[in-house]
Structure 1
Amino acid sequence: MADENTQVAPVAGAEENATQENKGFTYYFSDPDSVNAEMHHVVITLPYELPELPWHWHIEKPDDSLKDPVWDLKVNGWVENSKDGQAAILQEATQKIEELDKKSAELDKKSAELDKKNAALDQANDKFDQAMKAMQQSQQVQTQQSLALTQGLQKVAEGQEQANKVMASMQQILVGMQADQAKTATPTSDTKPAENTNKQENGGN
């Protein structure tokens, strides 16, 4: 019965391991949990090729440097059998270190991209701050100009009001002067009888 450890894969590669004597197909059986040391590594030669590998069957040949090779499911390969599993642990640790190095490189790349984006964002913020300062300075100048214009218009209005008062006063003076001149030009009662007397004298002649 196959389970999650069963390798469901073509075994065409097993043909490369065929012996020259019988031209069969060589497979390797390994049960690392077996108390029987002979079951740790068993070479099996079949006259036919298996369509898929049963549990504990493999087509990979263990390295000749291994004295007691067993198949380790964690590293998915042959390791040296040992009581404390140092070889398997070392190989697993090596794989994890490689994975961590790969992830670290990816993180460094992402960190560099993030730093680049942050630098661009800082530059954009600086430009925005400069634009805001320029706008505030422009508004301040406009406010000062508006205040100066308002004060100038107020002074002009005050001057116009003073001019109007002066003009009104001058008009009153002119009206008074015209009235005085009119009174001076009107004949008196003493002058009229003298003129009548002269006329009577001229008429008598």
Structure 2
Amino acid sequence: MADENTQTAPVAGAEESNATQENKGFTYYFSDPDSANAEMHHVVITLPYELPELPWRWHTEKPDDSLKDPVWDLKTNGWVENSKDGQAAILQEATQKIAELDKKNAELDQKSVELDQANDKVDAAIKAMQQSQQMQTQQSLALTQGLQKVVEGQQQTAKVMASMQQILVGMKADQAKADGTPATNQPTENDKKQENGGN
């Protein structure tokens, strides 16, 4: 049976033996969920020394007191209620998967918010660029219209100057007829002074 250095007990007596041995050594928990012997599902072992490495099926984590027949589950890496069809282990595994999915869903929601914010910034930049292009187009149109008016003004000035020149030529011709001197297209000294600003 058990020697003085090790003590094994089923779940029912584990609480009492654990309390008396707790200050004398280190408590470990053994679990063989596949054993036909229900006493091997959960065994408390107290040793006077600490193990550097735990043997197969030994654990330092104590099972929850609410479990009636706790066994160690390798999938969940924790204590679960023993059941013939493994419903408790399946439920615990499903709960863990739901928690993981909730976490991933929260991460996706956060990424979606960040993506929406980035899209808003891109939309704002595009809108600002369109407004800038519209202003440039309006400025270009105003400049083109201004230049067109300047050109039209220059053309009008040229027409006025040509008309004035024709009038002056006509006046000289009329004056020459009146004086009896031949009309020439050469400017007179008076015309040259007027072209130079009267100097």
Q: How does 1:24-35 map to 2 (within 5 A)?
A: 24-34=25-35
Tell me the secondary structure at the aligned position of residue 20 of structure 2: coil
1:174 aligned onto 2:175: yes
Residues 18 and 25, structure 1, Cα contact 8 Å, conserved in 2: no
Residue 101, structure 1, aligned to residue 102, structure 2: yes
d(CA) in 2 for partners of 1:38 and 1:20?
Answer: 20
In 2, the alpha carbon distance for the partners of 1:91 and 1:24 equals 32
Task: State the shift of 1:160 in Å.
Answer: 1.4
Distance change (3 Å), C-alpha of 1:33 and 1:171: farther
CA drift of 1:101 comes to 1.9
2:58 aligned with 1:57: yes
Structure 1 counterpart of 2:120, one-letter code = A
- Cα distance in 1 between the residues matched to 2:84 and 2:18: 32
What are structure 2's unaligned runs of at least 5 residues? 1-16, 183-199
Aligned AA (2:163)? Q
- 1:11-90 equivalences in 2 (<5 Å): 19-21=19-21, 23-34=24-35, 37-90=38-91
| CA contact 1:19–1:25 (8 Å) conserved in 2 | no
Aligned-partner Cα distance in 2 for 1:180–1:128: 73
Q: Which digits, 9 at most, give the CA deviation of each residue in 1:90-147, with x for residues without a partner?
A: 1111112222222322333333333334334333333332232222222212211111
Structure 1's unaligned 5+ residue stretches are 1-16, 182-205
TM-score (norm 1): 0.67
| CA-atom RMSD in angstroms | 2.7
- In 1, the alpha carbon distance for the partners of 2:60 and 2:156 equals 106
